[in-house]
Amino acid sequence: MASESAHLSIVIDRPTWAVYEYAADPANLPQWAAGLASTTVEHMDGQWVADSPMGRVTVAFAERNNFGVLDHVVTLPSGDSVYNPLRVIPDGDVSEVVFTLRRQPGITDKQFKQDADAVRTDLDSLKHILETR
Domains of the chain: 5-131 (3.30.530.20)
Q: How far apart are CA 20 and CA 14, in angstroms?
A: 10
pLDDT in tens, 75-100: 999 999 999 999 999 999 999 999 99
Tell me the whole-structure pTM to 2 decimals: 0.92
Query: Which pLDDT score is estimated for 35?
Result: 82
What's residue 2's pLDDT? 60
For the stretch 97-122, pLDDT in tens is 999 999 989 999 999 999 999 999 99
Confidence of residue 72 (pLDDT cuts 50, 70, 90): very high
SS (H, E, C) 86-117: EEEEEECCEEEEEEEEECCCCCCHHHHHHHHH
